[in-house]
Amino acid sequence: MVNNDNYLKQNIIWNTVGSFVYFFCQWALTLVSVRLSSDFVNAGNLSLAMSVTNIFYTIACLNVRTYLVSDFSKKIKDEEYVGLRVLTCAVGFLLCLFYISIFKYTVSQMICITAYMGLKICEAWTDLLHSFEQKNNRMDIGGKSLFYRGILSFVVFTALLYITDNINLAIISMTVVCFIFIIFYDHYYVKKFIDLKFKISKKILKISCLSFVPITLASVVSTLIGSLPRQVLEIMNGTEVLGIYASVATPAVIVQVASSYIYNPFVLRLSINYEQRDRDRFLKLFTKINLLVVALGVICIIGSIIFGEFGLKILYGEKIAKYSSVLIPVIIYTSINAITWFLINIMVIIRKIKSLLIIHIISGVISSICMVPMIKKFNMNGVSYIMIIFTFICLVLMMIDILRSVNNIFKTQE
């Protein structure tokens, strides 16, 4: 593992640029699906596909990245990580197919979801490759990959949608292009660090059950709370209403994504500080990152209050701008969720995995009880209120657990 701080600057720059461009291009797919379509059905189907596949993307990833980056003892071999990802990608894809088969989706919606799940499998695979690069202080490689793939996917999607007005053909073409790019770019560079051999052993399955499965179940709960309210909204009010909500809500995800630019490059350093039991440096960096993420959220909330309607008018026109009241609750949710994303990484670094799952289950149960009544009363805003309740409970419980656990662990070293 390379511990050269000279790489930190380029890691931050490329991770930020690449992640932002990829996120922007993925968000722009929703914008394009509104602009190039005669109604909101394409946007609604795209949003539905994104919501459903997020659940199974979590399973495909199994939230290995932070664990892998902080696995300094080499408890798990590289080929075992690769073998596990092959297995989880297959399981995630099959479960997605099973899921859509038991719901009353149209044939077009089933094709849309399946095609988009193919794209999420590509993302899950590259997430593993970028994890190995991050552990070797080379996040710049992954950042460049995200940069190029983001532009390619947007161009292909837009061209096919413009030519055919078929959202399914656009998604299928985008997925194929991304797959080809990964083979020729990402595989070439990751081989500088590991051999892409894979092995599925009893040890990796045991560790998965004890560590990765609880982390993933926690993420599944979080993803479900983000996805189910949208599906309930679609059932109660129709695909067009979901398309409107998705169009307004999608730009708000910038808060979560931008926050990851702040803390992702420092996950390795936090892991090293914790491994070395360097209490002062760990807590100082932990506090600094939290304050930066909070500041980002506050700026975005204020910005949405002042410029929300104007921004939506520029992006989507008058037909969406009149729903600007939906934007502020979404920004509040994404601001809180940005902090919880960072805290989840910390919980994994300090190996508080069972606690992470319990906290998510408690938060999920409480917010689920409120789901239908909230959406009935507040319509689109009800979706955001449910997610605010969930993320706020998670944030408070995780912060308490982290501070208590870190202090106790460091005290034992004194």
Mean confidence (pLDDT) of the chain: 87
Higher pLDDT, 70 or 375: 375
Q: Which amino acid is at 94?
A: L
State which of 39-43, 101-105, 273-277, 366-370 shows the largest mean pLDDT. 366-370
Mark whether 308 and 184 lie in a shared domain.
no
Per DSSP, the residues of 334-360 read HHHHHHHHHHHHHHHHTT-HHHHHHHH
In the block, tokens 């309930």 appear at: 232
The pLDDT of 50-73, averaged and rounded, is 85
Considering 154, 175, 200, which residue would you say is the last residue of a domain? 200
Q: How confident is the model at residue 263 (pLDDT cuts 50, 70, 90)?
A: confident
Q: What is the pLDDT of residue 312?
A: 83
Mark whether 120 and 193 lie in a shared domain.
yes
Q: Considering the domain boundaries, does residue 208 fall inside one?
A: no
Spell out the residues 6+ positions from residue 376 whose beta carbon is closer than 8 angstroms to its own.
236, 382
Mark whether 145 and 284 lie in a shared domain.
no
Lowest mean pLDDT among 31-35, 252-256, 268-272: 252-256
Mark whether 43 and 187 lie in a shared domain.
yes
Three-state DSSP at 26 gives helix
Q: Give the separation between CA 402 and CA 6, rounded to whole angstroms.
A: 30
Q: Where are the beta strands (DSSP E) in 258-313?
A: none
Q: What is the pLDDT of residue 134?
A: 86
State which of 141-145, 265-269, 273-277 shows the largest mean pLDDT. 141-145
Mark whether 409 and 268 lie in a shared domain.
yes
Q: Give the separation between CA 111 and CA 136, rounded to whole angstroms.
A: 39
Q: Considering the domain boundaries, does residue 227 fall inside one?
A: no
Q: What is the pLDDT of residue 1?
A: 45
- Residue 4 pLDDT > 60, yes or no? no
Mark whether 193 and 118 lie in a shared domain.
yes
Q: Give the separation between CA 313 and CA 23, rounded to whole angstroms.
A: 21
User: What pLDDT, in 10s, does the model give residues 313-349?
Assistant: 887 777 778 888 888 999 999 999 989 989 999 999 9
Q: Considering the domain boundaries, does residue 125 fall inside one?
A: yes
Q: Considering the domain boundaries, does residue 211 fall inside one?
A: no
Q: Is the dihedral of CA 71, 221, 264, 395 positive or negative?
A: negative
Q: Considering the domain boundaries, does residue 390 fall inside one?
A: yes
Chain-centroid distance of CA 56 in Å reads 12
Both structure tokens of 151: 């532009």
Mark whether 300 and 370 lie in a shared domain.
yes
For the chain, the domain total comes to: 2
Higher pLDDT, 318 or 155: 155
**343-377: b (≥16 Cβ within 10 Å) or e:** bbbbbbbbebbebbbebbeebbeebbebbeebbee
Q: What is the pLDDT of residue 7?
A: 64
Q: How confident is the model at residue 39 (pLDDT cuts 50, 70, 90)?
A: low
Q: Could you give the percent of the chain with pLDDT greater than 70?
A: 96
pTM confidence score: 0.76
Number of C-beta neighbours around residue 107 at 10 A: 8
Q: Give the separation between CA 66 and CA 271, rounded to whole angstroms.
A: 9
Q: How confident is the model at residue 6 (pLDDT cuts 50, 70, 90)?
A: low
Q: Is the dihedral of CA 36, 21, 261, 299 positive or negative?
A: negative
Mark whether 256 and 144 lie in a shared domain.
no
**DSSP 3-state percent helix, strand, coil across the chain (nearest 5):** 85, 0, 15
Domain that holds residue 104: 1-200
Q: Which amino acid is at 307?
A: F
Q: Considering the domain boundaries, does residue 260 fall inside one?
A: yes
- Would you say 114 and 101 are in contact if contact means Cβ atoms under 8 Å apart? no
State which of 4-8, 226-230, 378-382 shows the largest mean pLDDT. 378-382
Lowest mean pLDDT among 34-48, 91-105, 125-139: 34-48
Considering 181, 200, 219, which residue would you say is the last residue of a domain? 200
User: What pLDDT, in 10s, does the model give residues 74-122?
Assistant: 778 889 889 999 999 999 999 999 999 988 788 999 999 999 999 999 9
- Residue 2 pLDDT > 50, yes or no? no
Mark whether 28 and 119 lie in a shared domain.
yes
The pLDDT of 41-51, averaged and rounded, is 85
Mark whether 182 and 288 lie in a shared domain.
no
Number of C-beta neighbours around residue 146 at 10 A: 23
The pLDDT of 247-269, averaged and rounded, is 79
Three-state DSSP at 213 gives helix
Three-state DSSP at 4 gives coil
Mark whether 247 and 190 lie in a shared domain.
no
Q: Which amino acid is at 31?
A: L
The candidate with the shortest Cα–Cα distance to 54, out of 8, 152, 133, 121, is 121
User: What pLDDT, in 10s, does the model give residues 167-202?
Assistant: 999 999 999 999 999 999 999 999 888 888 888 877
Q: What is the pLDDT of residue 251?
A: 73
What is each CA distance from 62 to 57, 184, 209, 214, in whole angstroms? 8, 25, 11, 9
Spell out the residues 6+ positions from residue 325 whose beta carbon is closer than 8 angstroms to its own.
381
Mark whether 45 and 187 lie in a shared domain.
yes
The candidate with the shortest Cα–Cα distance to 39, out of 244, 220, 189, 210, is 244
- C-alpha count within 13 angstroms, C-beta hemisphere, residue 90: 6
Q: Considering the domain boundaries, does residue 72 fall inside one?
A: yes
Q: Considering the domain boundaries, does residue 48 fall inside one?
A: yes
- Residue 5 pLDDT > 60, yes or no? no
DSSP one-letter code for 71: -
The candidate with the shortest Cα–Cα distance to 43, out of 160, 167, 177, 214, is 167
